[in-house]
Amino acid sequence: MKKLATLAVGAVMAASPVLADLVIPSLSYRTGPYAAGGIPFADGYEDYFTLLNERDGGIGGVPVRVIECETGYNTEKGVECYESTKGEGALVYQPLSTGITYQLIPKTTADDIPMHTMGYGRTSAANGDVFSHTFNYPGNYWNGASGAINYLLAENGGDLSGKKIALVYHNSAYGKEPIRTLEELSSKHGYELSLLPVDHPGQEQKSQWLQIRRDRPDFVLMWGWGVMNQVAIQEAANIRFPMENFIGIWWSGAEHDVLPAGDKSNGYKALAFHNVGRDFPVFDDINKYVVDAGKAAGAGDQVGNVLYNRGLYAAMLAAEAIKTAQGIHGVADITPGMMRDGMEALSITEEKMASLGMPNFGPSFDVSCENHGGEGLVGVAQWDAGSKTWSLISDFAATDGEVIGALVEADSSAYAAENNIASNCS
């Protein structure tokens, strides 16, 4: 039996060429029901690495090779993509889908490849003691839920008691993420929470919005994705729900979510864990080295969009982790295992971001062995339909670490018990 295994391993080894480059797979979805969200992210992710190659000659002198693989947001295709790219020496995976993330958490751990799920995926992966190879800095859904409540608290003079908050959510594992946090917080702050699930795909939401119109909640939070976002914003406008009291998660806050509703979407808010707009020096370089040079990943029309910035931000965090790993191990051509160490020792500061031409692009945070989730700082962005721009209206603020920490602890220890996972840090 041993022999079989060795043979199989041998076949994998033979298939992976030894090249001096840093391989970054990009599991994108430029097709399928969520293509509109997948295209800008994939463009931003790839463009940043192209920029590093063109401007700096790679990272630490080693060029980056991005391998794009189309998942169409489909779990099975995601498996195919993972298996086909991991042999190439992939340094870090960004699966960009809840389903694929869950799928890959045990696999990447067994294959010793780190995975970065930025603002999605399994929230309790913030506990690095259990999830050794999964990182979800700088923020997760529970930070998002708490961030939204904190923002509303600040807006209402620190008191939400007696207020009614409705959560409109995609009826899936993703959409149900914030419920527990919001329930905990509701008993803490005394607001009344009502839950309104929307079934996939969410093209028809009349029932939910009629109910909102009847119940007149003070605020509506939304965990939506895909066509659900556009329809929800349209319906909210139709029932004349005040847009400034309507807050979406970061996956419900891109240009294409609000544009179909036109002017009526003015004032809609969305959470953010990175900055928006194109008012950063790095975009000059991107225009110069990437877009104008004809090397853009997409059509080049997505530059500066919210999700493009998110891809850019993810790529920046990956590049910084590579630099950290190179520093730790003293090797330029790092392995996935070294990359993991780099991600675990990652420290993002304001100076670092400024030197990269991205001042205040995201919160500053530190990753440690126990904490794979960063500090969980969350900001709020608002849509201006007149100028068709998003702008950040609140700084990246701390979220309720006490409540979230307990939830993370409970969920991750349940996972550890179910799968016999030993402590990673001690």
Partner 1 sequence: MSDTFIFGMEVFLNGLMAGVLYALVALGFVLIYKASGIFNYAQGVMALFAAMTLVGIMEGRVPFSHLINAIFGTHIHHFGWHLPAVFGILFTVAVMAGFAWCVQKFIFRHLVGQEPIILFMATIGLAYFLEGFGDLMWGSDIKKLDVGLPQGINLLIDETTFGWFGYGFFIDNLDLVATVIAALLVISLIIFAQYTKQGRAMRAVADDHQAALSVGISLNFIWVMVWTLAGFVALVAGIMWGTKSGVQFSLSLIALKALPVLMLGGFTSIPGAIVGGLIIGVGEKMFEFLVGPLVGGATENWFAYVLALLFLVFRPQGLFGEKIIERV
Partner 2 sequence: MFYREAGDFKTTYKDDNQTFPIKFDRYRYYAVMFAAFAVIPFLINDYWVNAIFLPFLIYAIAAIGLNILVGYCGQVSLGTGGFMAVGAYACYKLMTGFPEINLFFHIIISGGITAFVCVLFGLPSLRIKGFYLAVATLAAQFFLVWLFNRVPWFYNYSASGQINSPERSLFDITITGPNADAWAKYLFCLVFLTVLALIARNLTRGTIGRTWMAIRDMDIAAEIIGVNPLKAKISAFAVSGFFVGVSGALFFSVYLGAVEVGEVFGINKSFLVLFMIIIGGLGSIFGSFAGAAFLVLLPVLLKNVLVGGLGWPTDLAAHLEFLIIGALIVIFLIAEPHGLAQLWRVAKEKLRLWPFPH
By C-beta, is 72 or 147 nearer to partner 2? 72
The SS3 call for residue 311 is helix
Q: Can you tell me the distance from the alpha carbon of 69 to that of 211, in angstroms, rounded to the nearest whole number?
A: 42
Is residue 19 close enough to count as binding partner 1 by CB under 8 A? no
286 binds partner 1 per the rule CB under 8 A: no
Selected from 15, 20, 154, 239, the binder of partner 1 by CB under 8 A is 239
Q: Please, which residues bridge with residue 232 across strands?
A: none
The single residue among 107, 180, 256, 278 that binds partner 1, judged by CB under 8 A, is: 256
* Partner touching 238 among partner 2, partner 1, none, CB below 5 to 8 Å by kind: partner 1
Strands 192-198, 164-170: pairing is: parallel
> In whole angstroms, how close is the CB of 260 to partner 1 at the nearest point?
4
Contact partner at residue 210 from partner 2, partner 1, none, CB < 5 to 8 Å by partner kind:
partner 1
Smaller CB separation from partner 2, 5 or 422: 5
In the complex, what is the shortest distance from the CB of residue 122 to partner 2, in angstroms, rounded to a whole number? 6
Cα distance between residue 376 and residue 404, in whole Å: 10
Q: What residue ranges bind partner 2 (CB under 8 A)?
A: 1, 4-5, 7-8, 11-12, 15, 28, 30-31, 35, 39, 68-70, 72, 74-77, 79-80, 83-84, 86-87, 98-99, 102-103, 105-107, 109-111, 122-124, 171-173, 176-177, 180, 199-200, 407, 410-411, 414-415, 418-420
Q: Which is nearer to partner 1, 236 or 276 (CB)?
A: 236
Among 157, 240, 387, 422, binds partner 1 (CB under 8 A): 240
Burial 133-153 (b: 16+ CB within 10 A, else e): bbbbbbbbbbbbbbbbbbbbb
- Alpha-carbon distance of 410 to 166, in angstroms, equals 26
Q: Residues 33, 63, 277, 357: which binds partner 1 (CB under 8 A)?
A: 33
- The identity of residue 297, as a single letter, is A
Question: According to CB under 8 A, which one of 57, 190, 242, 260 is a site residue for partner 1?
Answer: 260
Closest approach of partner 2 to the CB of residue 200, in Å? 6
Partner in contact with 260, chosen from partner 2, partner 1, none, beta carbon below 5 to 8 Å by kind: partner 1
SS3 (DSSP) at 28? strand
Q: Are 181 and 142 in contact (CB under 8 A)?
A: yes
Tell whether residue 197 is a contact of partner 1 (CB under 8 A). Answer: yes
Relative to beta strand 365-366, strand 347-348 is antiparallel
The owner of tokens 């930025």 is 118
Compute the least distance from the CB of residue 424 to partner 2, in Å: 15
Q: Which range touches partner 1 (CB under 8 A), out of 29-37, 79-87, 154-162, 398-406?
A: 29-37
Residues 218-237 that bind partner 1 (CB under 8 A): 226-227, 230-231, 234, 237
Burial class (CB in 10 A: 0-12, 13-18, 19+), 157: exposed
Tokens (6 digits) for 10: 């041998």
Beta strands in 52-184 (DSSP E): 64-70, 115-116, 134-135, 164-170
Beta strands in 185-250 (DSSP E): 192-198, 219-223, 246-248
- Which two three-digit tokens encode residue 340? 């993991």
Orientation of helix 227-238 relative to helix 206-215, angle to 10°? 40
420 binds, among partner 1, partner 2, none (CB under 5 to 8 A by kind): partner 2
Q: Cβ closer to partner 1: 10 or 262?
A: 262
Helix segments in 263-305, DSSP class H: 281-285
When CB distances are held under 5 to 8 angstroms depending on the partner's kind, the choice from partner 2, partner 1, none that residue 204 binds is: partner 1
In 3-state terms, what secondary structure has residue 361?
coil
Q: Is the backbone peptide bond immediately before 138 cis, with ω within 30 degrees of 0?
A: yes
What is the Cα–Cα distance from 114 to 205, expressed in whole angstroms?
38
Q: Which of residues 299-318 bind partner 1 (CB under 8 A)?
A: 299, 301
Q: Which does 124 bind (CB under 5 to 8 A by kind): partner 2, partner 1, none?
A: partner 2
Per CB under 8 A, residues contacting partner 1 are 30-33, 35-36, 39, 171, 195-199, 201-204, 206-207, 210-211, 213-214, 226-227, 230-231, 234, 237-240, 256, 259-260, 262, 264, 294, 299, 301
